[in-house]
Amino acid sequence: MRALHCCIFANSVHRNGMPMPQQTSLFSPATIGRDLLAGSVVFLVALPLCLGIALASGADLFSGLLSGIVGGLVVAAISGSSSSVSGPAAGLTAIVAAQIASLGSFEAFLLAVVVAGLIQIGFGIARCGALSAFFPSSVIKGLLAAIGIILILKQIPHVFGHDSDPEGEMAFQQPDHQNTFSELLTLLGGEIHLGAMVIGLVSVALLVFWDRVPVLKRSLVPSPLIVVILGVGLSFGFVGLGEDWAIGASHLVQIPIAASLAEFTGFLRLPDFTQFSNPAIYFAALTIAVVASLETLLNLEAVDKLDPAKRNSPPSRELVAQGCGNLVCGLIGGLPVTSVIVRGSVNVGAGAKTKLSALTHGALLLLSVALLPAYMNMIPLAALAAILLVTGFKLASPKLFKQMWDEGRYQFLPFIITVVAIILTDLLIGIVVGLGVSVLFILNSNLRRPIRRIVETRLAGDVLNIELANQVSFLNRAALGRVLNEVKRGTNVQIDATDSDYIDPDVLSLIRDFKDNTAPARNIAVNLKGFKTKYALHDELQFADYSTRELQDQMSAEQVLEVLQAGNHRFATGTRINRDLGRQVNATSAGQNPFAAILSCIDSRVPAELVFDLGVGDIFSVRVAGNVIGTKSLGSLEFAIGVAGVKLIVVLGHTRCGAVTSAVQLISEGRSAHAATGCQHLQAIVDEIAPSVNEHWPDWLETLTKDEFEQEVDQVAARNVLHTAKQILSRSEVIRNGVYQGRVKVVGALYDVKTGCIQFLEQAALELRSEERS
């Protein structure tokens, strides 16, 4: 058992692939005081909840207390959570009551709890806790909000002294034949106890006041503890004020009191092992194990979200801990336990730092049951109800509802449906409804957007790029089929499975049928890319996804410009093409046929192939600081036009250009680049930028703010682009002749380093005047 315990602990240090944070020492001087006080607060809240849940389940009151003790001592000792607290669960009351009746005796039910504990231990060893990673956050937050609202609605009657419904009962339909809302209406009929109401309202006021005063909120003394002491004091003060004010037994905690040790041990019940051959035992055990595990994992996720330190609890280890707890509960006569969100939220709110608070709560439950039941029975239920009521307001804060609304309908609808379903049914049914709605939204999302579609403007026509997801299930088949059916005749389609780890056989069959039958019939060229060997779909190239000589000859300068504009739009909007660069390297190894030449700055933020979303072999890239023209760079552009057959030259400048900024500063100060930097060859670049600098700049440079200066530099950068374009035309005969003949175009563009967008500058500024052509 020790080896198993160590193995589980070692294997639970990672959750969802992420390292678990180190646990703080239980007995650290920095946390022990806060943990002991938080455990005391949780104990006070858990005491009536244990009794109420036992009563609602149709079991002995003592069985609920035993579950609370086991949840605090056994489960907490094994659990890896610092904030979760376990005990009898309101979500299991209906199942417990039904199984006790079905199995015929409480002892037979205890045997089912023992088997359920063993099943949960198996779940934990099998790492089934990893399923918690798939719970939608909207459902978790809906659970928190719903518990908060239920606490508010259920505790209001108790605050006013109406205690007919057991404390801790969370279902919409109540054992007293009322429901959550009709119970509130009984208060209007006068079913209010004045003494309990005063204690309840004063307790609520004190809790709110304590939370609003910073000094009190930061103090080591928790306000719930003060509320309980105050409630007991007021209860004694009301004794002589008559029946309407005196707090009777029905309005107090009611722990069973044993007159002797023999009577106390008589509260313990043993399972009926003679029922081992009864199949109904195992069906009941499986039901309890599955439901308790689901509720535990959901509550664990919810409590982790409340934890200020944002620690992640190991879910598989928690299943083992819960299994051990239920094994013990079944052996001594307790109800099944789970992680309980109400206890956990109170624990977090009370400032717990480690699981010592949960252990403390269990120890205090044991102490109160064994030695101090008479003193515990002095606590008014109204004071405890006030603590839960305030906790409910914290869980169901308007801020949470606004946050979910702001996140859009795909988050808000599952959230609000979960809230409503839990309030109108019970915890278990509501969670199942919430998970079902989330699954429907996921299915809907898969049906509508299972793949990434990007249309790329290419030399030979548009290419529809279909990028498959990491996991492509049969649920994606309908949507992919719709996409393929919508492909027009003569289109080029590229299906990319590079990032796919799994593709359902039905989807593979659909792709094969489209490639082999539908595409040829519609004159559609299909490229396959990235399919694993096991799929029997090999990479296939039916059209070139790079620039070829034939495509280069077919395109005009205007069409090339459209390709560049479309590419930058993809770059700026985050829809870049996932290119097979390795294949393009092999395809262009024998020769290149670029369709454009880009003269750009050496700035590292402006890589031309990336900002235009291009591949290998698509462009000539000439880079020089300040994107100025010189003899060597001009010779490179002439080669592109005169020898390689390029149709378009783009002079690409950019905002916040360091070369332009330096040139402006040097010119305004009247200094040379050599004198300022020690570099011998920078002055040539400054001289090329100089004609674009405002000749009156030195007179008012010092009056500009930082933002105004940057704007002026950007304007100089734009003028420098146009100046360079004109210099290319005026200094290169071969490029000028290409423009005269209408087969070449020279354009200017300015890249915005903040947005990634490229603005193509005024074309008229780059056209040669008619007199210059003669």
- Alpha-carbon distances of 343 from 53, 163, 588, 734, rounded to whole Å: 13, 20, 67, 82
What pLDDT does 445 receive?
64
What pLDDT does 15 receive?
44
What pLDDT does 169 receive?
67
What pLDDT does 460 receive?
59
Predicted TM-score (pTM) of the model is 0.63
Asked whether 743 and 647 are in contact (CB, 8 A), the reply is: yes
What pLDDT does 72 receive?
94
Six token digits for residue 620: 């000539």
Six token digits for residue 490: 């003569």
pLDDT digits (tens, 9 = 90+) for 708-744: 888 889 999 999 999 999 999 999 999 999 999 888 9
Supply φ then ψ for residue 631, to 5 degrees: -60, -45
Within a 13 Å sphere around the CA of 66, how many CA atoms are in the beta-carbon half? 26
What pLDDT does 7 receive?
39
Q: What is the mean pLDDT of each run of 10 residues along the chain (774 residues)?
A: 38 42 68 90 87 81 91 94 89 83 91 96 92 80 86 88 74 77 79 90 92 82 85 90 86 80 80 92 92 89 87 92 96 93 88 92 91 85 86 86 87 89 82 82 63 67 79 79 84 85 86 88 85 74 58 79 89 81 74 90 94 89 94 94 92 94 87 89 92 69 79 92 93 92 92 94 50 44
E-assigned strand segments in 567-608? 596-600
Pairing of strands 596-600, 648-654: parallel
Q: Which of 706, 646, 694, 698 is nearest to 669 (CA)?
A: 698
What pLDDT does 538 receive?
67
> What is the residue type of 222?
P
Sheet of strand 461-468: strand arrangement: 451-458, 461-468, 492-496, 525-529
Q: Which of 255, 247, 212 is nearest to 230 (CA)?
A: 247
What pLDDT does 770 receive?
38
